Amino acid sequence: MMTGETDPALAAVGPRLCSLRRDRGTSLTEVSAATGISVSTLSRLESGQRRATLELLLPLARAYQVSLDQIVAAPVADPRVRPSSFRRHGMIYYPLNRRPGGLQAYKLVIPADSSRRVPDPRSHEGYEWLYVLDGRLRLVLGEHDIILTPGEAAEFDTRVPHWFGAAGPEAIELLSLFGPQGERVHVRARPGRQKAAGSA
């Protein structure tokens, strides 16, 4: 009995065999002569009426000059992330990945009418990276109180008391990467820019 994991892969074998044959401009009769597999068996394989076996697939792979992996390939899961937004602390969160635990990616929107305007620094385990897409973001981190504009990024240890919110009346859009276990985000620096001596 086929498992739920192998069903889709085996179901795709027939159409893939048919596509390989047509791409090469060969007939079922010609493939039959090259492999020793009857025309009726080949036809049933391509239509999905005959289950593919190693005994059948090996000569077909040789005839088409492809690997078995190219004939029997596990289906690729849909890569699109379909985020279900939610509101928290005056912000709208749009999840950008499906990874359970570990590094989490979000698009955050702070609406123009958000109540998130009065700093309320808090700390917790983790490490966060922020990138402003639109609007002006105010970040309070320890003794720092700074404004980030579109194109600017910040990263920090969330064990340091921090808060971020609206710096003006407009809505703000930003990206956030958060590692609950303190994973640091590694960003490649643009070459050609050196820090001034003594800068932090």
In the chain, CATH 2.60.120.10 sits at 86-179
In the chain, CATH 1.10.260.40 sits at 7-71
Q: Per the structure block, which two tokens stand in for 171?
A: 């809505």
CA–CA separation, 17 and 88 (whole Å): 51
Classified as helix, coil or strand, 166 is strand
Question: What's the pLDDT tens digit per position in 46-103?
Answer: 998 988 888 999 999 999 988 887 787 655 667 777 778 999 989 999 999 876 667 8
Answer with the residue of higher pLDDT: 43 or 78. 43
Dihedral (CA of 165, 166, 171, 175) sign:
negative
pTM (2 d.p.)? 0.56
pLDDT band at 1 (very low <50, low <70, confident <90, very high): very low
Right CATH number for 7-71 from 2.40.50.100, 3.40.50.1980, 1.10.260.40, 3.40.50.10490?
A: 1.10.260.40
- pLDDT the model gives residue 111: 94
CA torsion, ordered 83, 84, 87, 92, to nearest 10 deg = 30
Question: What's the pLDDT tens digit per position in 144-200?
Answer: 999 999 999 999 999 999 999 999 899 999 999 998 765 554 444 444 444 444 443
Q: What is the DSSP string of 175-189?
A: EEEEETT-PPP--PP
Long-range contacts of range 103-106, CB-CB < 8 Å, 24 or more positions apart? 103/177, 103/178, 103/179, 103/183, 103/185, 104/177, 104/178, 104/179, 104/180, 105/175, 105/176, 105/177, 106/175, 106/176, 106/177, 106/178
**What mean pLDDT do residues 31-60 have?**
91
Topology given in CATH for the domain delimited by 86-179: Jelly Rolls (2.60.120)
